[in-house]
């Protein structure tokens, strides 16, 4: 079962969230993310000992993507976390006048799209 929050990233602290994967299929863009949740998110729980935030895996999905501009990074680093999962770096997201801007350690892309969903794995 997945929890969906449409067209918003309320309750998610992206500055301390991490990209886990990137997928493009047709006109859909998906970012796998380890989300840092804030205490106003419905799925928030107290952080486990040793962690600063409540972390939950999930993804951000956009449909009907139309690229405005895109550029890849010439170099990047993939870190392995203590539990063995890969950390592809941070994610920065803004939306201005209908144009989405996603910047990661891997790419920087601006695009128009249909709905955006933030989906948490349960």
List Cα–Cα distances, 97 to 12, 14, 103, 111, in angstroms. Answer: 21, 20, 17, 11
Number of domains in the chain: 1
Residue 39 domain-assigned? Answer: yes
DSSP sequence for 12-47 = B-GGG-EEEEEEEETTEEEEEEEEEE-TTSTT--PP
Whether 16 is covered by a domain: the verdict is yes
Q: Is residue 20 part of a domain?
A: yes
54 falls within a domain: yes
**What is the structure's pLDDT at 75?**
58
Q: What is the pTM of this model?
A: 0.79
| pLDDT number for residue 78 | 64
pLDDT in tens, the chain (122 residues): 344 443 347 899 988 898 888 888 999 999 999 999 999 999 999 999 999 999 999 999 999 999 888 777 655 566 666 666 666 678 888 888 889 998 887 788 899 998 888 999 97
Provide the domain limits for residue 53.
Answer: 2-66+78-92+115-121
User: Is residue 101 domain-resident?
Assistant: no
């Amino acid at each position: 079962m997945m929890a969906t929050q449409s067209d918003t990233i309320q309750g998610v602290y992206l500055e301390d969230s991490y990209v886990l994967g990137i997928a493009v299929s047709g006109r859909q863009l998906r970012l796998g993310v380890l989300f840092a949740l804030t205490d106003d998110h419905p799925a928030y729980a107290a952080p486990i000992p040793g962690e600063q935030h409540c972390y939950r895996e999930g993804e951000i999905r956009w449909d009907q993507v139309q690229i405005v501009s895109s550029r890849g990074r010439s170099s990047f680093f993939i870190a392995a976390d203590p539990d063995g999962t890969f950390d592809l770096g941070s994610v920065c997201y803004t939306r201005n006048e209908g144009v989405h801007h996603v910047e990661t350690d891997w790419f920087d892309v601006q695009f128009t799209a249909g709905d955006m969903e933030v989906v948490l794995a349960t």
